[in-house]
Amino acid sequence: MDEKDWDALAPTFEEDIFSVPAHDRLKQIEQVLDLHAHADADAADVGCGVGGALPLLAERFGTVHATDLSSECLAVAENRYARYHNIQYCHADLTKPLPFPPVDMALCINVLLIAKRAKRQAMLANLCGAVKPGGHLVLVTPSLESALYASHRLVQLNEAKGMKPAVAQRKAARDTTRLDMGVLDLSGTPTKHHLKEELADLLDQNGMEVLGIEKIEYPWVFALEEAMQDMAPPMPWNWLLHARKRSG
């Protein structure tokens, strides 16, 4: 999706785009931010969309840089969170260096989804470059392990409907032609999913020390249209990664 696509989504963003902060029922993102919250520290929400996570930063840090590829999404966020006077809004493309000094804390939720590897590498390098030495990054991405687990559960649902195993598996098949690269089609859009170990390796290569990787679980209905309300855990999940920028 390009800037025009995101601009067109701005009026219905919350209905069309899954909100991680809204479904973070254990407040895991907030818990990590609380570890480093300080009134004299700077923070950034990189790829903030319409600003669902901005209050988490604005209430914990002195200055917050809110950036997004979509000027329309930024306009919605700026209007919605006008009560926060410590947020600076900036139209920015993460494939290019971000136009503000490195910050103490960067938050980036489900932005590194681009299927093209070279573009995604540039985005990650610029994201890590926006963090001060000794500063921290909180990164959320779709989990490849979760996507594969959801396929397993969908096969089970199909078998429960009376399908034979081979039919149940065929009906559950999704476009996995680039599965070895972690790219799956979601509603027709090629979307990058990450392995846990892959994330740790990528952050290490970009000068970050990984401090922790956890699951942020979310309801089954957002992973499978066929999901029943009483589907048993474990639930599908995103990866929540917490890292510190190396000083040297």
In this predicted structure, the answer to whether residue 30 has a pLDDT above a threshold of 70 is yes
Predicted confidence at residue 176, as pLDDT, reads: 53
Could you give the domains of the chain?
3-143+188-245 (3.40.50.150)
Peptide bond into 236 cis (omega under 30): no
pTM (2 d.p.): 0.92
Tens-digit pLDDT profile for residues 68-111: 999 999 999 999 999 999 999 999 999 999 999 999 999 999 99
Average pLDDT over residues 46-75: 97
Predicted confidence at residue 105, as pLDDT, reads: 98
Average pLDDT over residues 109-136: 96
Predicted confidence at residue 175, as pLDDT, reads: 52
Tens-digit pLDDT profile for residues 225-235: 777 777 878 89
Average pLDDT over residues 19-41: 96
